[in-house]
Amino acid sequence: MKLNGSEIIVECLKEQGVDTVFGYPGGAILNVYDALYKHSDEITHILTSHEQGAAHAADGYARATGKVGVCFATSGPGATNLVTGIATSYMDSTPVVAITCNVTVSLLGKDSFQEIDIQGVTMPITKHNFIVKDVNTLADTIRKAFRIAQEGRPGPVLIDVTKDATAAECDYVKETPKLIERKTESIREEDIDTVTEMIAQAKKPFVFVGGGVVLSGASEELARFVHKIDAPVADSLMGKGAFDNSDPLYTGMLGMHGTKTSNYGVSECDLLIAIGARFSDRVTGNASKFASNAKIIHFDVDAAEINKNIKTDACVIGDALEVLKRVNSKIGQLEHHEWIEHIKELKEKYPMRYRKDCLNGPYIMETINEITDSNAIIATDVGQHQMWAAQHYTYKQPRTLITSGGLGTMGFGLGAAIGAKVGRKDKVVINIAGDGCFRMNMNEIATATRYNIPVIEIIFNNHVLGMVRQWQDLFYGKRYSSTVLDDTVDFVKVSEGLGAKGYRVSSIEEFKAALKEAIELNIPCVIDCLIDREDKVFPMVSPGAAISEAFDRQDLENKNKNN
């Protein structure tokens, strides 16, 4: 049948099973929105307050559901407003398809009104991108974009369509999407044999888990692997929930704000097995001193990650689930009693300590964990609150922490929480924000209230840019340049003005009452938590130091006394 380009876009989205699109209309994309209007009973459109919010919402939807997130924007500033969200998805390997529209072919390259070369702009931050000028290539391009976004290492794909291509007609034939196959052709049996032998010989193995395990759906196979080889487990920020954080073998996050147990354990182990992790600088600290006593095995779907940041002794390239299945089939039950007992002693010696005589970030997260029974989806913005959310909530399942790990995008959390809630209506969804981050994305409260998307926004309000100030305090001689937010902005009034229920709390008792009521009300709510600006995220590794040099508040106090 003959359809115009806009109708083909909608039909192709339906082919792919898309049920929700986040976006913001404009002149160049009007034809598409007109077609979307006619299918509003099949595809829900969420009008965000800003295009960046749409990109973050599509990202959050994808992370929470495992499906492809979709966002729309018009040409020019509409398209460029997606850029930060696309880059966030790219850094964290999230499958997102962004569809933008541009001026007509005859106006391209002439500095026309709201014209931008969004394909050129996004080339470094997309897995692939396209510009469609001919309606006859549109359907195949959309199908290809969804396949690229999902296969191998996932990532964002952008499709830019000229306005005349959205209006032109051509024949459309419906197609059933091909099954996305796991990457197995690069898995070599000799590599499997090598790593299984190394694992069998190790006396002090340690497993490091990254976001690739979440993306591949390999959590159950990972648990079997860990218990088979009897090894402690640490995770990266992106790997949270890949391994049950309540398991006795779990030691906490690794790296700059990881636990001392994880950092010391990796520094002492004789074999480090990294699965679906990219050895970020925030994980390794001083790379030349990272896991210096260990041989290193790396499992990853992306060959480009092997030996990129840390030199490995062996590797297997392929989908994490498939790799773990093959390793598990070849390795017998191992026991490392002395090593596990040593790790247990480290956990007892270096617990995550925090004050319980006042409202603070760790106490808030522990309370959220208790009230939600470790069963909520936690989204975050970026900063101290993000690290407290990673450290003090028990993530038992994958896809329950939605956070910007690679790009560190302030303003990510609220849009992402909205997307996550749209995709997982069965879950309580809570966004953890700092007051600095909330200022960047508070307009998306209006999106939540417009559609009655019952997200709970919790602001860790210390009236400073917390993490930046922490660095100024520790490494810049307490010179607080542009990090103090002492002003008269009232977040409760702002939230209520945008249609949400607002709370302000200054004690743990007030917070408990507010959170329980917010969950029960099941409407958009904002809880403004007043905390001390002097609170810091510990443990911490100084820039340029080895992760074995992690210090906490007590270490800092002892050092200051000795000086």
pLDDT of residue 43: 98
CB of 437 closer than 8 Å to CB of 409: no
Catalytic residue among 114, 330, 496, 551: 114
Report residue 558's pLDDT band, with 50, 70 and 90 as the boundaries.
confident
- Over 80: is that where the pLDDT of 400 sits? yes
- CA 413, CA 409: separation in Å to the nearest integer? 9
Backbone angles phi, psi at 84, to 5 degrees: -65, -40
Assess if CATH 3.50.50.60 describes domain 2-171.
Answer: no
What fold does the segment set 361-538 form as a domain?
Rossmann fold (3.40.50)
Would you state the structure tokens that stand for residue 427, as one six-digit string? 């879950």
Please count the CA atoms within 13 angstroms of the CA of 483 that sit on its side-chain side: 20
Average pLDDT over residues 350-371: 96
* Strand ranges in 14-88 using DSSP code E only, listed in sequence order: 20-24, 44-47, 69-73
Measured in whole angstroms, the distance separating CA 536 from the mean position of its chain's CA atoms is 23
Yes or no: say if 430 and 458 are a contact pair by the CB < 8 Å rule. yes
Is 163 considered catalytic here? yes
The C-alpha torsion from 540 through 546 and 547 to 548, rounded to 10°, is -110
pLDDT range class, residue 241, cuts 50, 70, 90? very high
- Hey, is 469 helix, strand or coil? helix
Place of tokens 């990853």: 300
Q: Which two tokens stand for residue 361?
A: 């970030």
Q: Residue 496, Cα to own-chain centre: how many angstroms?
A: 28
Q: What is the mean pLDDT of residues 400-419?
A: 98
239 Cβ contact list (under 8 Å, min separation 6): 209, 210, 211, 212, 213, 214, 276, 277
In the set 11, 51, 151, 268, the catalytic residue is 51
The pLDDT mean for the chain works out to: 97
- Mean pLDDT of the 288-306 span: 98
Amino acid of residue 76: G
The pLDDT, as a whole number, for residue 422 is 98
CB environment 372-405: b (16+ within 10 A), e (fewer): bebebbbbbbbbbbbbbbbbbbbbbbbbbbbbbb
pLDDT higher than 70, residue 146: yes
Mean per-residue pLDDT for 137-158? 98
DSSP H or E stretch at residue 329: helix 320-330
Which of these is catalytic: 163, 183, 240, 536? 163
Name 206's Cβ contacts closer than 8 Å, sequence gap at least 6.
231, 232, 233, 234, 265, 266, 269, 271, 272, 273, 294
Annotated catalytic residue within 91, 253, 410, 467: 467
356 is catalytic: no
pLDDT in tens, 250-293: 999 999 999 999 999 999 999 999 999 999 999 999 999 999 99
Same fold, 2-171 and 361-538: yes
Two tokens at 274? 């990294």
Task: Note the pLDDT tens digit of each residue in 422-459.
Answer: 999 999 999 999 999 999 999 999 999 999 999 999 99
In this prediction, residue 561 carries a pLDDT of 80
Question: How much of the chain exceeds pLDDT 90, in percent?
Answer: 98
Place of tokens 């419906």: 174
Instruction: Label residue 563 by pLDDT band (50, 70, 90).
Output: low
E-only strand ranges, 169-256: 169-171, 205-209, 233-235, 250-253
Contact yes or no for 96/68 (Cβ under 8 A): yes
Please say if 114 is a catalytic residue: yes
At the second CATH level, the architecture of 189-349 is: 3-Layer(aba) Sandwich (3.40)
H or E element in which residue 441 lies: helix 435-441
In the chain, domain spans: 2-171, 189-349, 361-538
113 is catalytic: yes
pLDDT (average), residues 415-428: 98
CA distance 161 to 332: 54
Active-site residue among 38, 42, 113, 554? 113
Q: What is the pLDDT of residues 23-66, one digit of tens each?
A: 999 999 999 999 999 999 999 999 999 999 999 999 999 999 99
Q: What is the mean pLDDT of residues 121-149?
A: 98
| pLDDT at residue number 313 | 98
In this predicted structure, what is the pLDDT of residue 465? Answer: 97
pLDDT band, very low/low/confident/very high, at 304 (cuts 50, 70, 90): very high
